[in-house]
Structure 1
Amino acid sequence: MEKTNIWKFINDCNVVGYTLIIPSVAVGNVGQLSCDLLISSLNMVKIASIYSPAQIPVIGYDPYDLKSNSLSTSCDIYISDIRKLLVLQLRAPLVHKYASGFLKDVVSTFREKQITDVIILTSSFAHEKKHILSSPFRFVASEGNPHTQNVRKANLVKHEENTGEPKVFGGGFASLLYKICLEYKLPCLILYKYCSEGDNIPDAYDMVQNLSNVVPIFAENQDLLTQLKQPVSWTLLFGRPPPQDIY
């Protein structure tokens, strides 16, 4: 594979046995918002950035700490040693032409680092939901997935049209990444929610709650909402208020 992606590790940690969470840029950006909530709530530490032609360039202030001198980019990787958790946060869509090569590089790199599995967080168009009274959440799990038992306990609904290559309409690259994980024999789980564009912060909270039922991320003896911390960047999620001098 041609090395067109540049990995810059701030701290090359031992991640053997960790779970990697990747958001797919999709309708409502629910996956990305959920990862923001996880990173902020768990005080996760950035360990790497990836620069790739597959990414639309983005750079800005640290979205989780106003006092930090660190910059955020299109693709940053965060770690929680206590929870054995990695989050690869994407802040821009992937360029279709290079998406497959980029995702293969991500999967192969973390497979070499001997992570346990990959969880993809994404969303789907609300109008694609066929059973109106059922849960808005669906999942797709590969064989040998370590979270299968917890998924059953959480009573999550299985993706209705799982033919080996699940189609999540509006779900971005989730299906492609799932297929790549299968090729590299890396256990993978897709968790998605049917939603619409708008204020998708409530969807992110719902996603994190369902994720925590599958993966023991937060303390079970405390209320989940008390453990969640909104990122400071969410105060400008819809831009600044209109200037007063226009009235």
Structure 2
Amino acid sequence: MFVPVESERDIPAECTLLLPAVSVGNVGQLAIDLVISTLNMPKVGYFYTDCLVPMVGNNPYATNEENAKELSTNAEVYALPTRKLVVLQLRSPIIKKKSKSFRQALICWIKRCSFTKVVLLSSSHAYQRVDQQLFGAPFRYLLTPVLQRSVADVVQELEWKEMEKVSSYPGINDDEKKISVPGGGFTKHLYDDCCLEEIQLAVVLKFCSEGDNIPDAFALLNHVNEWLKLVEHSDGDLSVKWKIPSSWRLLFGSGLPPTLF
């Protein structure tokens, strides 16, 4: 359920929704952090649900002492009407056995807001790739049938690779195949739900391993930016200058205390 920060604030119409999956390396969440920080997106509300692990913390995008005191929760909504963009950031995992309830609540909200399309940023275990996934770029995409009709030409022009189907029973029956996103959290189930509900959803993911996943987040976001044009390239510069949020200074803790030595 969406709870606006201010009573008169609501979700802008005809927007693209960008959200992460809580998946391997937290790559999608890190990428969303970069989007919010770079575009300086204002918070418009909270996604209130009992399906996520409770969490509260300081403002992860603080720029001064005053706004550093603002609190953040496990699911917050940011919007930039001028760019027709809405972002849902998830900061804690889904409680076990509540994944279906969370997906149902999310789909109800997506339908109510009438988003033009939904883009889910995710990741998958690199070590569980099948043979055909070992070559080329480490990115894959999935499109629901209703979105496939409108953006198929775009992804073909970008030369993106669709997520390959893998054998349901390896070594026993290789004819029966399915889509599998190991380490992708609720990615596969949300994709299936959106197919049934005829929601225009695109999944964009990167194969990766646990560790320092900041480079993976930058890579995934640069890949998505080729399509969504969230940030335009500078003249003569092919790289995008993403703004790192202040909270990333403590991403791996505060360092070793000098007294230890």
TM (norm. structure 1) is: 0.91
Q: Report if aligned partners of 2:3, 2:47 keep a CA contact under 8 Å in 1.
A: yes
Equivalent AA in structure 1 for residue 248 of structure 2: W
Equivalent AA in structure 2 for residue 180 of structure 1: D
Equivalent AA in structure 2 for residue 184 of structure 1: E
Match status 1:152 vs 2:147: no
Count of residue correspondences: 242
SS at match of 1:135: coil
User: What does residue 243 of structure 2 align with?
Assistant: 229
Separation (CA, whole Å) in 1 of partners of 2:177 and 2:18: 21
SS at match of 1:158: coil
**How far off is 1:109 after superposition?**
1.5
Give % identity: 33
**How far off is 1:225 after superposition?**
4.1
**How far off is 1:70 after superposition?**
2.2
User: What does residue 206 of structure 1 align with?
Assistant: 219
Give the direction of change, closer, same or farther, for the CA distance of 1:104–1:235 in structure 2 (3 Å limit).
same
Q: Report if aligned partners of 1:15, 1:114 keep a CA contact under 8 Å in 2.
A: no
Q: How does 1:78-97 map to 2 (within 5 A)?
A: 78-97=78-97
Q: Report if aligned partners of 2:18, 2:119 keep a CA contact under 8 Å in 1.
A: yes
**How far off is 1:9 after superposition?**
0.8
Match status 1:8 vs 2:3: yes
Match status 1:241 vs 2:251: no
**How far off is 1:166 after superposition?**
2.8
**How far off is 1:128 after superposition?**
2.1
Q: Report if aligned partners of 2:232, 2:240 keep a CA contact under 8 Å in 1.
A: no
Equivalent AA in structure 1 for residue 113 of structure 2: K
Q: How does 1:43-54 map to 2 (within 5 A)?
A: 43-54=40-51
User: What does residue 73 of structure 1 align with?
Assistant: 73
SS at match of 2:145: coil
User: What does residue 216 of structure 1 align with?
Assistant: 229
User: What does residue 111 of structure 1 align with?
Assistant: 111
TM (norm. structure 2) is: 0.86
Unaligned regions of 5+ residues in structure 2, if any?
167-175
Separation (CA, whole Å) in 2 of partners of 1:133 and 1:182: 28
Give the direction of change, closer, same or farther, for the CA distance of 1:7–1:168 in structure 2 (3 Å limit).
same
Larger radius of gyration: 2
User: What does residue 3 of structure 1 align with?
Assistant: none
